[in-house]
């Protein structure tokens, strides 16, 4: 670890803190339908979309209608993406003449991009035509992110409204997310990325003759336009196989910093939207505080572990110590321009959220370094989270935290003046239990059948980690991988696809039920017996609930993977 490494991490943290308020203010106004500086340009387009789709923007939807709208929209998106992949050989913008994507891989990819997971069992540059990348994958990068933001807003309205029937309008929330938030920033940052070196063309792959006379085929494409929304919408599906480690996707340390900031920005901003909408910004800062503490813990562990390097290299006279001339540390699966600090930071950021883009190969992280992204995802990606999903995941934990606090003191729990009763707690528990069921159930299945055991590249505990990581990533809609796993097989494509669906919709539907139920409740005036949820005690309790429930559920599985591997590594055992 170096002073410079820590200053880079501190710089990133400072930028995020400074973004929270202005971005939260802007988004609050947008989703309330108030005037913003983009109004004159975007508003006419927004109204035209409602007219064409037959949407009444004043209509307030009941939570069931809201959920049904979201489900129909997801199904329509799944259908178009499936068709596009299967028909790409007949369609334009396919200069490499790539054939139709195989059906099991198509199913997996369609689920993966509809659910904002962006797990990729395929190698993009040898599988997807430019049209599929643009009109299929880029579109879902936008709309699955917009869906997440919409859902977070619905839940916030549940807390903010009193004695209300509805929780907003899905179509309006979706449209505004795209038009006022995602698209304008994508346009600006895409051009910035091109300036910095990210390609944006529709040309065939370039055939170069290298300095030593060898042939090199260099993949091209409309990369920048997809890169920005991949990051900003916490999608994470790379234009190229190597994702944000590829020099065309992430050419230098500045683009890397911008990418990390974009990954956190919406999730962090939404905590402020939450505070503003419930009428007390400190409530938002309390959630932000809990997220920030968990984030710092994660990045500290990854950075210190990876800086130490691989002890097995020591015998070969390899220099892994940091100096002015090299960053040192465990450089397997890392890029020189990022070094250890930026790789550790990106790894933490991408798994705190549901992004899943990588600038370093997680499979080659040291055992405890690789454990952090896994645990981040297992905790439900509530640390800033996916766009929207982080906030609603965190609010489910908040409901649970006040419930447990209520049990301790023997009072009916309240959160933001709303009584938390049996229905809310049951729904929160449903969401919290389906995820481990999918994650651990499928991992157990894969380690018990030959089709599952054929997957891992590495032997020993690391092979188990590859399987566990895959289902963790799929269930939590992250999409990053211990990429040694050969996941492009019917068994993995299908089971991972199901895990993604369970993880997305069994979190969303119970969450909307909570929102609907809360919106209908009256506000109980605060009294001296009310547990304050905007202070340090609540933050500590919230972190405690997240860590303890996560630990109780997942510790046995984690101990078989990264923990076992750590001790094997210290003992010098190889597999």
Name which of residues 131 to 160 contact other proteins (CB under 8 A). Answer: 134-136, 138-139, 142-143
> Which one of 166, 309, 390, 497 is in contact with other proteins (CB under 8 A)?
309
Under the binding rule (CB under 8 A), the answer on residue 560 touching other proteins is no
Part of the chain binding other proteins (CB under 8 A), chosen from 15-23, 211-219, 386-394, 543-551: 211-219
Give the SS3 label for residue 118: coil
> Which one of 1, 128, 153, 219 is in contact with other proteins (CB under 8 A)?
219
Encoded one letter per residue, x for contact with other proteins by CB under 8 A and - for no contact, window 414-443 reads ------------------------------
> Which one of 242, 260, 420, 502 is in contact with other proteins (CB under 8 A)?
242
Query: Which 320-359 positions form the footprint of other proteins (CB under 8 A)?
Result: 320, 323-339, 341-342, 358-359
Give the SS3 label for residue 203: coil
Query: Which 158-187 positions form the footprint of other proteins (CB under 8 A)?
Result: 171, 174-175, 178, 183, 186-187
Part of the chain binding other proteins (CB under 8 A), chosen from 36-44, 245-253, 267-275, 538-546: 245-253
Distance of CA 431 to the CA centre of its chain: 17
Part of the chain binding other proteins (CB under 8 A), chosen from 52-60, 105-113, 507-515, 522-530: 52-60
Least spacing, CB of residue 321 vs other proteins, in Å: 9
Of 87, 57, 268, the residue nearest 179 (C-alpha): 57
In this complex, which beta carbon is closest to other proteins, that of residue 3 or of residue 525?
A: 3
In this complex, which beta carbon is closest to other proteins, that of residue 347 or of residue 477?
A: 347
- Using CA atoms in the order 331, 336, 340, 342, what is the torsion angle rounded to 10 degrees? -140
- Say which residues have a Cβ less than 8 Å from residue 319's Cβ, sequence separation at least 6: 326, 328
Part of the chain binding other proteins (CB under 8 A), chosen from 251-259, 409-417, 424-432, 502-510: 251-259
Is residue 226 within 8 A of residue 239, CB to CB? The reply is yes
Least spacing, CB of residue 370 vs other proteins, in Å: 8
Please calculate the CA angle 166-169-172 and round it to the nearest 5 degrees: 160
Under the binding rule (CB under 8 A), the answer on residue 245 touching other proteins is yes
Strand-pair partners of 222 = 200
Under the binding rule (CB under 8 A), the answer on residue 129 touching other proteins is no
- Say which residues have a Cβ less than 8 Å from residue 430's Cβ, sequence separation at least 6: 506, 510
Is residue 151 within 8 A of residue 274, CB to CB? The reply is no
Part of the chain binding other proteins (CB under 8 A), chosen from 65-73, 405-413, 515-523, 528-536: 65-73
Is residue 67 within 8 A of residue 110, CB to CB? The reply is no
Under the binding rule (CB under 8 A), the answer on residue 319 touching other proteins is yes
Least spacing, CB of residue 219 vs other proteins, in Å: 5
Under the binding rule (CB under 8 A), the answer on residue 58 touching other proteins is no
- Say which residues have a Cβ less than 8 Å from residue 187's Cβ, sequence separation at least 6: none
Q: Give residue for tokens 């649970």.
A: 400
Number of residues engaging other proteins in binding (CB under 8 A): 135
Of 316, 288, 499, 489, the residue nearest 390 (C-alpha): 288
- Say which residues have a Cβ less than 8 Å from residue 394's Cβ, sequence separation at least 6: 287, 290, 291, 382, 385, 542
> Which one of 1, 155, 160, 224 is in contact with other proteins (CB under 8 A)?
224
Under the binding rule (CB under 8 A), the answer on residue 191 touching other proteins is yes
Buried b vs exposed e over 171-199: b needs ≥16 C-beta within 10 Å?
bbbbbbbbbbbbbebbeebbeebbeeebb
Least spacing, CB of residue 462 vs other proteins, in Å: 4
In this complex, which beta carbon is closest to other proteins, that of residue 171 or of residue 403?
A: 171
Query: Which 470-509 positions form the footprint of other proteins (CB under 8 A)?
Result: 482-484
Q: State how far the Cα of 11 lies from the Cα of 15, in Å rounded to an integer.
A: 6
> Which one of 433, 459, 524, 548 is in contact with other proteins (CB under 8 A)?
459
Query: Which 357-416 positions form the footprint of other proteins (CB under 8 A)?
Result: 358-361, 363-367, 370
- Say which residues have a Cβ less than 8 Å from residue 333's Cβ, sequence separation at least 6: 360, 361, 362, 363, 364, 365
Ramachandran region, residue 168 (left: φ > 0; alpha: ψ -120 to 50; beta: rest): left
Least spacing, CB of residue 139 vs other proteins, in Å: 4
Under the binding rule (CB under 8 A), the answer on residue 256 touching other proteins is yes
Q: State how far the Cα of 81 lies from the Cα of 132, in Å rounded to an integer.
A: 8
Q: State how far the Cα of 430 lies from the Cα of 428, in Å rounded to an integer.
A: 5
Strand-pair partners of 215 = 209
Query: Which 6-35 positions form the footprint of other proteins (CB under 8 A)?
Result: 7-8, 11
In this complex, which beta carbon is closest to other proteins, that of residue 271 or of residue 364?
A: 364
Under the binding rule (CB under 8 A), the answer on residue 69 touching other proteins is yes
Under the binding rule (CB under 8 A), the answer on residue 123 touching other proteins is yes
In this complex, which beta carbon is closest to other proteins, that of residue 49 or of residue 547?
A: 49
Buried b vs exposed e over 354-378: b needs ≥16 C-beta within 10 Å?
bbbbbbbbbbbbbbbbbbbbbbbbb
Q: State how far the Cα of 254 lies from the Cα of 428, in Å rounded to an integer.
A: 40
* Helical axes 281-307 vs 3-31, angle rounded to 10°: 150
Least spacing, CB of residue 538 vs other proteins, in Å: 35
Under the binding rule (CB under 8 A), the answer on residue 97 touching other proteins is no
Least spacing, CB of residue 417 vs other proteins, in Å: 32
Under the binding rule (CB under 8 A), the answer on residue 574 touching other proteins is yes
State which H helix or E strand residue 243 sits in.
Answer: none
Least spacing, CB of residue 171 vs other proteins, in Å: 5
Least spacing, CB of residue 281 vs other proteins, in Å: 31
């Amino acid at each position: 670890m170096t002073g410079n490494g820590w200053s880079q991490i501190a710089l990133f943290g400072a930028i995020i803190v400074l973004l929270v308020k202005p971005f939260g203010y802007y988004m609050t106004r947008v989703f309330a339908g108030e005037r913003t500086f983009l109004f004159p340009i975007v508003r006419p387009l927004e109204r035209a979309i409602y007219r064409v789709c037959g949407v009444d923007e004043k209509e307030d939807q009941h939570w069931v209608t809201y959920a049904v709208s979201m489900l129909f929209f997801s199904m329509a998106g799944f259908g178009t993406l499936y068709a596009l992949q299967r028909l790409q050989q007949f369609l334009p913008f396919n200069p490499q003449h790539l054939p139709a994507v195989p059906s099991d891989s198509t199913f997996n990819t369609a689920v993966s991009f509809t659910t904002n997971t962006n797990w990729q069992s395929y190698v993009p540059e040898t599988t997807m035509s430019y049209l599929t990348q643009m009109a299929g994958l880029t579109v879902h990068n936008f709309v699955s992110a917009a869906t997440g933001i919409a859902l977070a807003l619905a839940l916030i309205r549940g807390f903010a409204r009193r004695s209300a029937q509805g929780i907003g309008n899905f179509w309006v929330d979706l449209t505004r997310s795209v038009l006022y938030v995602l698209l304008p920033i994508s346009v600006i940052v895409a051009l910035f990325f091109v300036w910095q070196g990210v390609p944006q063309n529709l040309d065939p792959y370039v055939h170069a003759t290298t300095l030593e006379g060898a042939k090199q085929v260099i993949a091209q494409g409309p990369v920048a336009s997809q890169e920005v929304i991949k990051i900003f919408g916490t999608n994470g599906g790379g234009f190229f196989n190597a994702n944000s480690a590829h020099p065309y996707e992430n050419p230098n340390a500045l683009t890397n910093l911008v990418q990390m900031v974009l990954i956190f920005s919406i999730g962090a901003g939404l905590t402020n939207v939450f505070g503003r909408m419930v009428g007390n910004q400190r409530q938002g800062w309390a959630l932000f505080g809990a997220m920030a503490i968990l984030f710092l813990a994660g990045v500290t562990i990854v950075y210190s572990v990876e800086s130490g390097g691989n002890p097995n290299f020591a015998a070969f006279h390899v220099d892994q110590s940091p100096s002015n001339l090299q960053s040192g540390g465990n450089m397997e699966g890392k890029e020189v321009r990022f070094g250890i600090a930026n790789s550790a930071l990106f790894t933490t950021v991408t798994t705190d959220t549901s992004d899943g883009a990588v600038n370093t190969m997680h499979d080659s992280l040291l055992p405890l370094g690789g454990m952090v992204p896994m645990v981040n995802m297992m905790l439900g990606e509530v640390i800033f989270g996916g766009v929207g999903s982080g906030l609603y995941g965190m609010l489910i934990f908040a409901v649970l935290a006040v419930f447990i606090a209520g049990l301790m003191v023997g009072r009916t729990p309240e959160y933001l003046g709303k009584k938390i009763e049996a229905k809310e707690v049951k729904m929160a528990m449903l969401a919290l239990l389906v995820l481990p069921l999918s994650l651990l159930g499928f991992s157990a299945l894969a380690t018990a059948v030959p089709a599952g055991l054929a997957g891992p590249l590495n032997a020993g505990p690391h092979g188990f980690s590859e399987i566990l990581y895959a289902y963790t990533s799929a269930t939590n809609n992250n999409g990053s991988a211990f990429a040694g796993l050969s996941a492009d097989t019917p068994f993995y494509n299908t089971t991972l696809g199901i895990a993604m669906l369970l993880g997305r919709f069994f979190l969303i539907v119970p969450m909307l039920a909570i929102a609907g139920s809360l919106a209908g409740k009256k506000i109980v005036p605060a009294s001296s017996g009310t547990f304050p949820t905007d202070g340090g005690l609540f933050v500590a309790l919230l972190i405690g609930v997240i860590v303890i429930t996560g630990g109780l559920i997942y510790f046995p599985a984690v101990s078989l993977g990264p923990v076992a591997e750590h001790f094997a590594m210290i003992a010098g055992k190889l597999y």
